[in-house]
Structure formats: structure tokens, C-alpha cells
Amino acid sequence: MNTTTTALEPLFTILSQSYTTLETTFFKIPGSAVVARYVRSSHQNDPGRTVLEVILIIFAIRTLMQSRTRADNSGKHFIKFEEKEIDELVDEWTPEPLGAPLDERELAEINNSPVIVGPTGPKPKLSNGKTVTNLASYNFTGLAGNETIKERSIDTLVRYGLGSCGPPGFYGTQDVHIQLEKDIADFLGTEAAIIYAQAFSTISSVIPAFCKRGDIIIADRGVNFAIQKGLQISRSTIRWYDHNDMKSLEQVLESIEKERRKKKGPLTRRFIVTEGIFDHDGAMSDLPKLVELKVKYKYRLILDESVSFGSVGRTGRGLTELYNVPASQVDMLVGSLANGLTACGGFCAGSNVVVNHQRINGTSFVFSAAMPPLLSVAASEGINILRSTPSILTTLQENVRAVHSILDRADCITIPSHPASPMIHLYVRMPSPQHLLPTTLPSPSMSSTSGKLSNPLSPHSRDPEVFDADLEDRILQDIVEEALAQGVMVTRAKRLRGQELTEVRPSIRLAITSALSKKECEKAASVVKAAFTKVVGKQRR
Amino acid sequence: MAIQPASPTPSIFRKKSTPTLSTAASYLSAVSEADARARAHGGTPNSTPALSLSSSVTSSSEDTVLHEKEESNDDGLVYPKVPPTSEQVFTTVHTEFGHCANDTYRYTSQYNPTRPVKGVPEQDPPYYILLTTYISYLLVICFGHLRDFFGKRLKVADYRHLLAHDGFAALNSDFDSFYTRRLKLRIDDCFSHPVTGVPGRTIVLLDRYSPNYNKTMVPSGGKTRGLNVSSYNYLGFAQSKGGCTDADVESIKRYGLSACGSRRECATLDLHLQAEALVARFLGMEDALISSMGFATNSTVIPALVSKGCLVISDELNHASIRFGVRLSGANVRMFKHNDMKSLEALLREVISQGQPKTHRPWKKILVIVEGLYSMEGTLVKLPEIMELKKKYKFYLFIDEAHSIGALGPHGRGVCDYYNVNPRTVDILMGTFTKSFGAAGGYIAGNRDLINRLRLSGHSGAYAEAMAPPILSQVMASMASIMGITLPRAEKSSPSRGLLVRHSDSTLTITPEEPPAYPGNALASWLPPWMPTPESMCDGSDSRMRLRRLAFNTRYLNRGLRKLGFITYGHDDSPVVPLLLFNPGKMAVFSRMMRTRATPIFVVVVAYPATPLVTSRVRFCLSASHTKEDIDTILQASDEIGDILDLKQGLGERWPLQEIIARAVELVNMEEVP
């Protein structure tokens, strides 16, 4: 015992010496006396606390020392391999082909779209040399090929060149873009507007610009693909209500409100996302009711007017004009310049705060080149023409009515679209008993009579439509070809089956244009009707 | 340094003795007009008739400076400082595409296989610069929070959008928008400046001022023309005159402005098919598909390539559109250190051996996504090394050539051309038309099965609007111009014509006459029959000039800046040159000083969050349209401002500015800069 003490003697002296030097240097630091006094007194009062504090310090140091990036190889699922084993595994691994070759049906699917030679318009020429009546292209207002627009675009082209050669933030914002934004805002009556270079990428960028993790989005079950992608990117909490059913929306709003009151969580941003005229079936939203609900429950409304802008309302201002709701009531009004104005790109109109926020946070605005100047001039000119020529929309509505009056009477066609919508979807109706096809559409009133609330967590409705998509697709394609043979171009609504959240019922999508006369529309509609009758008749036999 | 009156070679400009009636007529009218103009304002020393003539356009007698009223030439932007000889007649407008006749100011961008791929070593700045950078951020952040704290209590009206009101949660949380409000707003005059006219060699800014510390900007009505080193206009196709514009005008007249719908519904025009075929041939791939927006090309196609059970290995600095697409796809993502092949290989070994997380099942596919040229860093992908790894690890390779296509390689075909790699060994080549082609939109190219698969299941085909006809014609005209066009023999023998308009309308025919091997010329039959094909486009002289001028400008500025002592990033052959500023305060000052010089220069400054916090930078985007004198101007401006702002922190040998300007050609042609 004694020997060990003597052996350790020098060590102790070194320790005590270093302790004293440490102590003196410590007390040399200004303010150190306060710390020392604090430690001493706290230890005196409660020794247990000292232990706790020491443990805390150790824990803090450990946390700091740990690497920031949590690599997977520290996880419990990581298996350690020798280098040679890894080499063997690498040799063994065979990837799937990047893109499997298309089978015959898939190949037919991409080749069945007609090729237009020369300009598109009400009467385009196809690659087989035939001139057809066009009930397929989005040319509601008949502005495609408008000479004034062409002239002004050429004028812009020889002053600005073609491309804008840069994103809006880096000298890509040209005066014509600012003008177009002003034109849209003036046309709709909002404070401001922002333009995107592609309509499809507009809303999928607008939604995640505002909706973040933890925010609540209530969306219609029938929203289009671009919205679905926007919702997916946003990572918000999403609740669904039945397609175009205001009662269902109110129920969902009410249930969320109840939940919130119970939980007393913090106030989060809440949005309702829906479309003006639905891309999937042409149904139209009840905007006044939507606005009423959103005001009542204090939600913000993101309304996609891609189809309805430039196609309904007295001068084509869309749903807000049709229902006489001020556009400022819609918080984010998203529209397309490609459909109604036959230019390209999309826009989001709203308050200054909403628009300016997107200038830094709208992903596809910030990270993409600005729209080519000549196309934004084309859109501006299109708005000009719509303002000054209300007869365009009157003609369009007459044509829509004319087409409806013929197709409504066909017993093998169901039309889910709103009577005023210039985009008309046609479902095939086959009353044969061996098929599960519903003879009538579940109308909004029917689904809510079931009384029970559908599950807002699921994008699928409680009693989904039953249909044989493959069969209907085939029949519809036959109808398209039959109509084409008779000189009318129509198209199936092309959907990415399997990628859409809910299965969309196959349909033929007509786009009525004011560039055709009423007679021509009637004639074309008769051809479509005849094609339906013929093909469905053959199917029955 | 003066342009030597070099012997004019026909490859660069058309001689005035071109025996074309239309050219001669316009030439005469140009002479008389130029003469009249010279008399009208004989004040400027440069406005001799010969000079003004040079900047006039042969194809029309319109105003040289494009509908603008006469501008003075004090800044040397409107007319060349050194008048060209009477032998030289340029077909471009000097403000859009600079006149440069000197054949020594040319270089060919090509990888030298005897030297390893390496960028400029990234240099660290001295510690005091790092320290002051951190301190400035700290200061700004502290003041920002202080102002937020008091502002929210004292000036509620101004902070309304950040506070919950009337039962609505704030639209954007103050935390998310803090950076924008408190840091970016202070220097907002350097961003989103509205412009007008062609974003070519020069660009016209619409002057603006802010009465309320950048909260709102008010246009003051004036305009400023300045040297443009910020637009992505690598080959200088942003022009309002020339073969491409003629093609676009013709296309608008014939096709209008829209295809009215999505490709798979009913908006496939013959032009789309022709353009896709041409793009595939340009790239040396089997097939290609075109999308109407560059961002959407990635964001709508990647989800069709990979899905759950697949792994995407992505460079950490990949573009936002790639991340967007990968997130939509549902595939797993891992990142590797920027352009670090060792990191990539280590990651590959790990993921292949481990398989999918938890289940350890092997991955269905592994897709490595890299960019050809990183626009923030100026770095080039190390393609030869990646190809080696690809052989061993069997992953699929996706190269985003948004910035490199057209801008790199002796034939302008991007990184594959630059490194002399067979493009067919790369699985997917993606790129945009915005940058080198002066158009818009993007493409994906690969083998036929794959592209067909993407046509079927990519989002664009079914839902997005098809590309507009004038954009298609711009793509085709600029691409054909880069390739050079082989005309049918009969037409070749006819006396040279300014604009060859071939036989009028006909239906779509793609004649299979011995297509030249990649990267050869384009056949005239690949283009729409109505497309005008000027001689300079056909013989490839125009594009050769563009490619070689870009390569010269690129190397000259890159090396010049380093010789001046600046810290730059990236590769010598990268047309994007980032110059490091570090301190956030210097960004605004640099940008403003450049803008207010006698010859204004418009630059892009970028900082966090686009770059790491400390490495704020200014980015020069070069173009074939810049002349050597323009680069001299940039170097001189940088030199002066660099002294004032204490930016010259680079190591290595330094040359004085005069020496750099005098020895430019030697500097560019050096294998490596000591």
C-alpha cells in the first residue's frame, strides 16, 4: 500500500501542479469567478444537480462529436462486407432494362394520334392528305392562325429574337412579359399576375410554393394530373371530398374544424384546391358556393381555370365572370394561356403578396427560362381580341349548345360535362346486362344521399364507378377512327393509366371552337353520333 | 489592341462582291442609308460611311440598331471601336452579334486525352475574408430579427402577411421568408431587372428606381444598353436577324403560333416529327422527344424512367428540375459529392452490395444523373471516368446537357463530343433549347424503345401543351446551322443564292438517302421544304465561326481573370465563369459598379441559397457574339473593381492587364496555365 503511494507520488505532484495552473488561468479569464461561484453554490445546495449537469455536458459533447450526416451504414440494417464480396455482388447484380420495349398495343397507343401537316385550326390537313373538321384541338376562341396575332408576333420576333435566353430573375424578364402580366391582372380584375412558361407546370409549382408540410389541403377527388403532382410535391396533409360535391366538401371542412377544436393545435395554412371546369370530365364547379364555404371556414382557394379561362363567361374571363364572383375572392387563380388564348404557358393571378411570393418560391418560375417574348405578345393580343369581341364567346356557346343538342339525344352516349363547357367528354353507354357498366352516372345528389361520409383520407370515393377501362378504350378508339374516316377529328382523352390517383373513366374529349360555324358543328356532331351508334351497335352484336 | 485587317476568309463573312441581285440591291440601299446617317450625326468619330455600312444588315435596309432611335457610340457598344475595312461586310447587327473578323481569335473546344480531367483547383480565400463574410451575415441576420421583432409589434400593417389574421394563418411564415425579406431585399436592384429587345451581345435594361428601399420598383422610363454577360446565349443565336429568324417568320406565317393541345391528343404537327428526327441525328442518338419547357423535360420524364425500388444517384449540385422529377418518381435517392468520382464509386459499391434499405433486395435499376456543365460552378462532368465506372457497375447514365449542348465540343454536340465519347454509350441525353439554340423547351434522347416508352408514360405527352411551331423552326434552323446542310446536288451547282427557298409545299417525306455519319452534315431533306437555307448556314461556316469564337472567349476570360489574380471556379472551357466574391455586401456593389461604368456591363450575382453560404459569386455567361474587345472590356472592369473591392485573392502567377490583353491569343492557346 505504502509502496504504491510512493510510486504514485510524482504523478500526484504533476496532477496538483497542473490543477493549480489550470485554476489560475481559469480565474484569469474575465467573468470566470461568477461561473465558479455558481458551480460551488449549486453543488452545495443540491449535489444531485451537479451529477445531472455533468451528464448533460457529456451528452452534449457526444452529440457534437457525432457526424452530422447520418449515414446509412451506421444503421442496424447495414451489413458489413469484405471488398471481395462487394466485387462479387457488383458482378452478380443485373439491372432491369431502363425502358422495356413497347408491346403491340402500347405501340399502337402512341401511333394512333393523327399527324397534322401544316397549321392546325378548324380545318387542318392530315398526313394522309385529307382535310378534316377539328373537334379535338384546344382552340375554343378560334384564335389559332389569327392574322393580327401572327402579325404582332412577327413584329415582336424581329425586335426581340425568339428565346428569352434566361430565367426571369437573371435578365429574362422582358417588358412584354410585364405587359402580359398586367393584361391578365386587368382582364381578371386581380391585383397582379405571374406567368409561367408551360401551363402543365404552373399549378404543380404554385401549390408547393404555398403549401408546406403540416398545412392542410382539401382537394376534389376529380382534380387533374398536374394538381395531383403539385399535391404530391407539397407534402401537406391532404383530405379529399367527393368530386364536385359541395355537401361532401362542407362535411370534410366541418370534420376538420371539429378535429382542430378538439386538438387545439396551432393555426396552420388551409387550402381548398379544385378546378373551374374539370379536365377529367368537363364538370363545372359551383364557384359561389365554394367561395361561401372558403370564407366561412377560413380557407384559401386555389382554383385551376386551365380549361375555363378563355372559354366561359361573357368575354372569356372564366368562371368568375360566369358566376359574377370577383376574381379577388379566389386567392390563387391559375389558368392556361395555351387553351383559351392559343399561345403557350400558364399564369397565376392573385394579390400582390401571393404573386410576389411565387417570384422566389415558384420552382418552375425561378428555375426555368422565361416564356419566348413573341408568345407572350400573342397571349396579350389574344386578351385584347377577347375584350373587344364578345361575339367570339357567344358563337362558342351557340356551337356548344348545337353540339349538345345532337349528342344529348344519342342513347349510347353519356355526357358528364356541364352544358356550358366547350370541352365535352363523351362516355360510351352500353346497356348490355353482361357488363358492369353503370347506365347512369352517379350524380352528385345521388352520392350524398347515401348519407355516409366518404373517407377524406383516401382519394378513392366510397362507391367508385365501375367500368371496364380496356374495353371502353378500345371502343372509343374505334369511334375516333370511324369519325376520322368520315372527316371529323376527335380524340380520346389520353390519360396515364396507373399513374392517375384514381382510375379515370375513358372518354372522347371534344373541344368546341368558335372558328367553326353552327352548321359545321352540327354536321360534325352528327358524324360523331353516327360513329358512336355504329361502333357500339357492332359491339352489341 | 487593334483588329488586324486579316485576310477575309469566306467562312466568316460574305464578300461584298456576292453576285446576288437581292444582296446587291440591299447593299446599295444600305450604303446610301449608312451615308445619310453618317451625315446626320457626323459628330462621333467612328461614324464613317464604311463603318456604318459594316453594321448594316444586308438582307434589309432597316435600321442597324433595331427600331431604337439613334444611339451614341460613346460606350462602344453600337458600332465596333475599330472600323472594319471596306472589304468586310458583316451580316449581323453589332449590338446582337459582335463583328469580329480576326481569325486568330478562334479556338476549338476539345478535351485533350493526354491530360487528366481537372478543373481549376478550388482555392480558399484568406481567413479574414471568411471571417468578415460570416460576420456580415451575422450582422444582417441580427438586424433582420431585431427589425422583425419590433416591426411586428409597432408596424402591424406592414407585417400583415406574416401574421395570422382573421382566422387565417400567415401565407408565408416569417421564418421561411426571412432570407428573402432581410437579405435579398437589400440588394434586390441586382435581380429580376426588366429588359427589352434581343438578349444578344448587348441588352437594353429598362431603368428603374425604388422609392422605398426596394420594396417596390418604379420604372423611370429610361433605357440603358450594356454588354450582356448574363444571358444563356452561348452560340449567339439570340438574334433578331439572320437565317433562324427568317425561318421563324416563315413558320409563323405558315403554321401560326400554337399546336393547340398535347402531343398525344391531337397536336402532333409534321414539324414536331421533323424536329425530333433532327434532334436525334444532331445528338447521334436513335430517337428523341421534345418537350415544350426545359424544366418540365426533367420533371415530367424522370418519373417515367424510375419508380419505387429504383435508385437515383444524383450529383449533390444537380438542378432543381432533376430533384423535382426524382421526388415525383418515388425512387430512392442518394447523393455523391460534386463531381467526385471516388465518392461516386464508394457510394455505388455500398448501394449495390446493400441493396434496397431494410429488405436488402437488389435494386431494380440504378440511374446516375449528372449534368454536363454545372452552371453555378462552371465544372464539367468527368465523363471518361464515369464511363469507366459505368462499365463496371452497370448503372444507367442520364446526362443533363442543359448548358453544355451546343456550347462544348468541336462540333457543338456537348460533352460527348468534347470528350470524344460515343453518345450511344450514354443511355439518356437530356438538354434544353433555351441556351445554345436561342429557343425554348427541351429534349430527351436515347434508344428508340426507351424514347417510345417515355412518349407513352411521360407526363408531357398526354397532358402538357405541345411545342409551338416558331420554336420548332428555331430549333431546327439553329441545329441545322450548327451541323451544316448538304443540299441536293442540283441546287448546289446553281449560282449562289442568298436565300434558297426550295420547292414549295409537299407532304411529309423523309428521304433515306445515305445519311451522313454522326457528327456529319444535315441533309436538306431533313428540314421542312420551305425553310430558308442561306449559304453560310449550308456550308457550316457560320456555326464553325460561332463555336470557335465561343471557345476563344471562354478560355480567354477564364484565364484572364485568373491571371489578374481572381479566384474563379470551374473548367477553362466552361462558358460560364464564376468569379468568387465571398462577402455578401460585395455582390451588390460589384453588380452596381459594373452597371454604371462608361460601358455598362450587366452581370448576374448569386449567393446563398443557390451556392454555399460563404461563396457568393458573380457569374459571367459568355457567348460567341462577344468580340475579343468585349472580353478586354470585362477584364478591365473586373480589374478596376477587383482592386477596389479587394477581390484578387488568388494564388499563382499574375500578369498586368495590358499584358493579358496583348498576349490573349498566346494565353488561350497554352496547354495549361502555370
pLDDT by residue (tens digit) across B118-155?
Answer: 656 778 888 999 999 999 999 999 999 999 899 888 88
Q: Which residues contact B30 (CB under 8 A, 6 or more apart)?
A: B53, B56, B57, B58, B61
**Is A352 near chain B, with CB under 8 Å?**
no
pLDDT, average across residues A323-330: 94
- Residue span of the structural domain in which B458 resides: 259-467
C-alpha cell at A135: 373537334
B423 and B517 together in one domain: no
Interface touch A119/B254, C-beta < 8 Å: yes
From B304, which residue of chain A is nearest by alpha-carbon distance? A99
* Binding-face residues of A in 380-419 toward B, CB within 8 A: none
Dihedral pair phi/psi, residue B289, rounded to 5°: -130, 150
C-alpha cell at A413: 352516349
pLDDT by residue (tens digit) across A418-441?
Answer: 999 999 999 998 765 445 444 444
Q: Calculate how close chain B gets to A199, using CA atoms only, in Å.
A: 7
What are the chain B neighbours of A275 within 8 Å (beta carbons)? Answer: none
Tell me how far CA of residue A149 lies from CA of A139, A339, A393, B260, in angstroms.
Answer: 14, 15, 18, 15
Q: Identify from A116, A157, A165, A176 which residue to disrupt to test chain B contact, counting B C-beta atoms within 10 A and taking the largest count.
A: A165
pLDDT by residue (tens digit) across B236-287?
Answer: 999 998 889 999 999 999 999 999 999 999 899 999 999 999 999 999 999 9
What distance, in Å, lies between the first and last C-alpha atoms of chain A? 111
What are the chain B neighbours of A172 within 8 Å (beta carbons)? Answer: 195, 199, 231
What are the chain A neighbours of B192 within 8 Å (beta carbons)? Answer: 168-169, 173, 359
| H-run or E-run covering A291 | helix A287-297
What are the chain B neighbours of A109 within 8 Å (beta carbons)? Answer: 456
> How confident is the model at residue B495, as a pLDDT?
38
Interface touch B266/A137, C-beta < 8 Å: yes
B427 and B293 together in one domain: yes
- Partner residue opposite A173 with nearest CB, options B194, B252, B303: B194
Is the C-alpha dihedral spanning B660, B666, B671, B674 positive or negative? negative
Has residue B451 been placed in a domain? yes
- Contact yes or no for B601/B633 (Cβ under 8 A): yes
**Is A123 near chain B, with CB under 8 Å?**
no
> How confident is the model at residue B534, as a pLDDT?
85
Which CATH number do you get for residue B349? 3.40.640.10
User: Which of the four pLDDT bands, split at 50, 70 and 90, describes residue B612?
Assistant: confident
What positions of B carry a catalytic annotation? 435
C-alpha cell at A476: 372509343
- What ipTM did this prediction achieve? 0.86
Interface touch B200/A495, C-beta < 8 Å: no
Interface touch B237/A163, C-beta < 8 Å: yes
- Contact yes or no for B625/B233 (Cβ under 8 A): yes
User: Which of the four pLDDT bands, split at 50, 70 and 90, describes residue B559?
Assistant: very high
Interface touch B180/A162, C-beta < 8 Å: no
pLDDT of B506 strictly over 80: no
Has residue B87 been placed in a domain? no
**Is A90 near chain B, with CB under 8 Å?**
yes
Has residue B191 been placed in a domain? no
Q: Which residues contact B70 (CB under 8 A, 6 or more apart)?
A: B37, B40, B41
From B226, which residue of chain A is nearest by alpha-carbon distance? A171
B431 and B523 together in one domain: no
Interface touch A342/B260, C-beta < 8 Å: yes
B148 and B265 together in one domain: no
What distance, in Å, lies between the first and last C-alpha atoms of chain B? 24
B440 and B493 together in one domain: no
C-alpha cell at B306: 424510375
Interface touch B367/A98, C-beta < 8 Å: yes
pLDDT, average across residues A239-263: 92
B165 and B266 together in one domain: no
From A128, which residue of chain B is nearest by alpha-carbon distance? B507
Q: Calculate how close chain A gets to B619, using CA atoms only, in Å.
A: 11
CB pairs under 8 A between A and B: 387
> How confident is the model at residue A431, as a pLDDT?
63
> How confident is the model at residue B37, as a pLDDT?
54
pLDDT by residue (tens digit) across B56-100?
Answer: 333 333 444 444 455 666 677 887 777 767 667 777 888 899 888
- The rounded mean pLDDT for chain A is 89
Nearest to B504 by CA among A118, A396, A436, A494: A118
Nearest to B441 by CA among A345, A174, A527: A345
Has residue B578 been placed in a domain? no
Q: Calculate how close chain B gets to A2, using CA atoms only, in Å.
A: 56
B328 and B385 together in one domain: yes
Has residue B498 been placed in a domain? yes
Q: Calculate how close chain A gets to B1, using CA atoms only, in Å.
A: 31
B415 and B498 together in one domain: no
- Partner residue opposite B238 with nearest CB, options A102, A163, A175: A163
Q: How many CB atoms are closer than 10 A to CB A295?
A: 12
**Is A162 near chain B, with CB under 8 Å?**
yes
Q: Which residues contact A462 (CB under 8 A, 6 or more apart)?
A: A242, A447, A450, A452, A454, A455
- Partner residue opposite B240 with nearest CB, options A160, A226, A364: A160
Q: Identify from A80, A106, A162, A354 which residue to disrupt to test chain B contact, counting B C-beta atoms within 10 A and taking the largest count.
A: A162
Q: Calculate how close chain A gets to B670, using CA atoms only, in Å.
A: 31
Q: Identify from B258, B310, B316 which residue to disrupt to test chain A contact, counting A C-beta atoms within 10 A and taking the largest count.
A: B258
pTM for this predicted structure? 0.86
As a whole number of angstroms, the distance between CA A511 and CA A333 comes to 22
> For residue B640, what is the DSSP state?
H
Has residue B155 been placed in a domain? yes
The bridge status of strand B366-371 relative to strand B396-400 is parallel
From B363, which residue of chain A is nearest by alpha-carbon distance? A95
Selected residue with higher pLDDT from B623 and B92: B623
B275 and B331 together in one domain: yes
Has residue B376 been placed in a domain? yes
Question: Strands (DSSP E) along A401-513, which ranges?
Answer: 413-414, 423-428, 488-489, 491-492, 508-511
What is the helix, strand, coil percentage profile of chain B, to 5? Answer: 40, 15, 45
pLDDT by residue (tens digit) across A256-280?
Answer: 999 988 988 788 899 999 999 999 9
| Dihedral over alpha carbons A425, A429, A434, A435 (to 10 degrees) | 10
Dihedral pair phi/psi, residue A448, rounded to 5°: -85, -15
pLDDT of B38 strictly over 60: no
As a whole number of angstroms, the distance between CA B306 and CA B367 comes to 8
pLDDT by residue (tens digit) across A357-405?
Answer: 999 999 999 999 999 999 999 999 999 999 999 999 999 999 999 999 9
CA angle, corner B180, sides to B179 and B184, nearest 5?
95
pLDDT by residue (tens digit) across A166-208?
Answer: 999 999 999 999 999 999 999 999 999 999 999 999 999 999 9
- Contact yes or no for B27/B124 (Cβ under 8 A): no
pLDDT of A92 strictly over 70: yes
C-alpha cell at B325: 422529377
Dihedral pair phi/psi, residue A339, rounded to 5°: -85, -60
Q: How many CB atoms are closer than 10 A to CB B247?
A: 29
B373 and B435 together in one domain: yes
pLDDT of A130 strictly over 50: yes
Interface touch A163/B353, C-beta < 8 Å: no
User: Which of the four pLDDT bands, split at 50, 70 and 90, describes residue A69?
Assistant: low
- Partner residue opposite B167 with nearest CB, options A168, A177, A298: A298
pLDDT by residue (tens digit) across A221-230?
Answer: 999 999 999 9
Interface touch A166/B231, C-beta < 8 Å: yes
Task: Find the range with the poorest average confidence among A321-325, B4-8, B376-380.
Answer: B4-8
Name the percent of chain B lying above pLDDT 90: 60
What are the chain B neighbours of A344 within 8 Å (beta carbons)? Answer: 257-258, 292, 465, 468
**Is A136 near chain B, with CB under 8 Å?**
yes
DSSP string, B405-433: TTTSSTTS--HHHHHT--GGGSSEEEEES
Q: Identify from A140, A171, A210 which residue to disrupt to test chain B contact, counting B C-beta atoms within 10 A and taking the largest count.
A: A171
pLDDT of A449 strictly over 50: no
B612, burial (CB in 10 Å: exposed 0-12, middle 13-18, buried 19+): exposed
- Does the bond joining B575 to the residue before it have cis omega, within 30 degrees of 0? no
B446 and B519 together in one domain: no
> How confident is the model at residue B5, as a pLDDT?
42
In the block, cell 435566353 appears at: A165
Q: How many CB atoms are closer than 10 A to CB B7?
A: 8
- Partner residue opposite B352 with nearest CB, options A90, A121, A127: A90
In a 13 Å sphere around the CA of B28, the CA atoms on its Cβ side amount to 5
Interface touch B394/A94, C-beta < 8 Å: yes
B289 and B152 together in one domain: no
What are the chain A neighbours of B328 within 8 Å (beta carbons)? Answer: 229, 232-233
Q: Calculate how close chain B gets to A42, using CA atoms only, in Å.
A: 33
- Contact yes or no for B240/A161 (Cβ under 8 A): yes
Has residue B109 been placed in a domain? no
* Binding-face residues of A in 434-493 toward B, CB within 8 A: 489, 491-493
Q: How many folded domains does chain B comprise? A: 3
Interface touch A164/B440, C-beta < 8 Å: yes
- Contact yes or no for B469/B259 (Cβ under 8 A): yes
Q: In DSSP terms, which residues pair with B380 in a beta bridge?
A: B373
Selected residue with higher pLDDT from A307 and B32: A307
pLDDT of B661 strictly over 80: yes
- Contact yes or no for B399/B370 (Cβ under 8 A): yes
